[in-house]
């Protein structure tokens, strides 16, 4: 697999990463053996960037990854870990904590669960409105100095917060939703990252499966987080599935899968973008990773743009509760009020 560098100061990684969230949380039950086989298949195919969050299954995802990496050389893998989201025993949300003392605490548990003595990229999952971003980034920078972290990342923050963070320490990448139906970053966030030399790890490139070519009205019977996600409900879903059908026509003409075209589109948006594939089955990985070898011509890209113009999808990308925690969806940093 070809390589891409994450930002001016970040590590080189295979140009597709693997996001492991769905192997532990949010998308209904996952098959443990199949998840591990998917992780190994991705690594064998040249993936180096493995993304997780300490709150994915409240630690389950990190322990699963540790098992999947057993027997591999640590230096062949780039571990990206998000922290700060608080969970309760029932899996509910209990806010965010990215204060300096929380950074140290979360990191110490993550190192143990992953069975490693350093994390390649460590990032707060969301902006903690109670903790100035300078304090959070400064605390991670201390862990870089101490050798427990190699690079600092951000997640779902807006341009003002990115600038404040980058003034404290080098930022390798911003992890943020970016897909054919989630192009909000193109206005301000992506240009800001480019100006500052910060890479992008794009998540939900398949819009959580909606753009996979396998989603249908019937799939919404499954009791997972997508059942209430605005793009997956009612008329919104019906409309959004018509966009997928338009994409299917283009994919068919190229002899490719819908998923591969959607991932290839994300790859085509710039050498500073590394899409995270969210596969949790080997067949999904095979289908999506075909994007790595799928060249999209200028005509293909124009046809895709015509099929799914910017802003074509109906429904917000998160529920109202979750949207309220996205600094990336605000014009002004959430922290302008925090002294
Ligand atoms: N920073 C953040 O706020 C944030 C938020 C969300 C995710 N992330 C990270 O980004 C990663 C990717 O996000 P995502 O999992 O939502 O990505 P995605 O690739 O948009 O969706 C993945 C889901 O789509 C379905 N799918 C169907 N066909 C597929 C195919 N051919 N290839 C891959 N998936 C297919 C699978 O669900 P079924 O098996 O149910 O069909 C799979 O779990 C996550 O794992 C996580 O590491 C970060």
The tens digit of pLDDT for each residue in 26-75 reads 999 999 999 999 999 999 999 999 999 999 999 999 999 999 999 999 99
Per-residue CA distances from 109 to 6, 93, 116, 177, 301 (Å): 26, 19, 11, 27, 44
Average pLDDT, the chain: 95
Model confidence band, residue 225 (pLDDT cutoffs 50, 70, 90)? confident
Read off the pLDDT of residues 319-338 as tens digits, 9 standing for 90 and up.
999 999 999 998 654 454 33
Which entry of 27, 56, 96, 109 is annotated as an active-site residue?
Answer: 56
pTM: 0.96
**65 pocket-lining for ligand 1 (C-beta < 6 Å):** no
Concatenate the DSSP letters of all residues of 191-209 into one string.
HHHHHHT-EEEEE-TTGGG
Is the pLDDT assigned to residue 99 strictly greater than 80? Answer: yes
Rounded to 5 degrees, φ, ψ at 243 are -65, -40
Residue ID of nearest Cα to ligand 1 atom 19: 278
Does residue 223 register a pLDDT over 90?
no
- Positive or negative torsion for Cα 203, 9, 141, 146: positive
With a cut of 70, say whether residue 193 has pLDDT above it.
yes
The partner residues of 51 in beta bridges, in order of sequence, read 19, 80
Q: DSSP characters for 6-24?
A: -TTTS-EEESSEEE-GGGT
Tokens of 294: 């799928």
Lowest-confidence region among 171-180, 216-225, 243-252:
216-225
Q: Which of 278, 288, 317, 324 to mutate to test the pocket of ligand 1 (most atoms within 8 A of CB)?
A: 278
User: Quick check: CB of 39 below 6 Å from ligand 1?
Assistant: no
pLDDT at 221 (0 to 100)? 74
Which three-class secondary structure string do you get for 122-158? EEECCCCCCCCHHHHHHHHHHHHHHCCEEEEEEECCC
Per-residue pLDDT, 336: 43
């Amino acid at each position: 697999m070809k390589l891409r560098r994450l930002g001016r100061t970040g590590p080189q990684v295979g140009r597709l990463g693997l996001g492991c969230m769905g192997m532990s949380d949010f998308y209904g039950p996952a098959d443990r053996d199949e998840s591990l086989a998917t992780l190994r298949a991705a690594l064998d195919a040249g993936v180096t960037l493995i993304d997780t969050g300490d709150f994915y299954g409240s630690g389950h995802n990190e322990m699963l990854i540790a098992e999947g990496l057993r027997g591999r050389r640590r230096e062949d893998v780039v571990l990206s870990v998000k922290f700060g989201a608080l969970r309760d025993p029932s899996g509910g949300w209990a806010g965010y904590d990215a204060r300096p003392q929380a950074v140290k605490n979360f990191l110490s548990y993550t190192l143990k669960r992953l069975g490693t003595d350093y994390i390649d990229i460590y990032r707060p999952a969301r902006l903690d409105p109670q903790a100035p971003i300078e304090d959070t980034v400064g605390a991670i920078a201390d862990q870089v100095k101490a050798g427990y972290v190699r690079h600092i990342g951000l997640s779902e923050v807006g341009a003002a917060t990115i600038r404040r963070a980058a003034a404290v320490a080098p930022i390798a990448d911003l992890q943020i939703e970016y897909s054919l139906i989630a192009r909000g970053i193109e206005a301000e966030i992506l240009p800001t990252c480019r100006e500052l030399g910060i890479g992008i790890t794009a998540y939900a490139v398949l819009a959580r499966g909606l753009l996979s070519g396998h989603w249908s009205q019937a799939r919404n019977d499954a009791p997972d987080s997508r059942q209430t996600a605005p793009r997956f409900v009612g008329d919104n879903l019906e409309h959004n599935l018509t966009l997928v059908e338009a994409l299917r026509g283009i994919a068919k003409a190229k002899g490719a899968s819908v998923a591969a075209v959607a991932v290839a589109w994300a790859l085509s948006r710039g050498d500073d973008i590394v899409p995270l594939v969210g596969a949790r089955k080997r067949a999904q990985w095979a289908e999506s990773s075909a994007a790595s070898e799928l060249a999209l011509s200028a005509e293909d890209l124009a046809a895709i743009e015509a099929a799914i113009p910017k802003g074509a999808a109906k429904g917000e990308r998160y529920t109202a509760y979750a949207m309220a925690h996205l600094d990336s969806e605000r014009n002004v940093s959430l922290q302008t009020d925090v002294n």
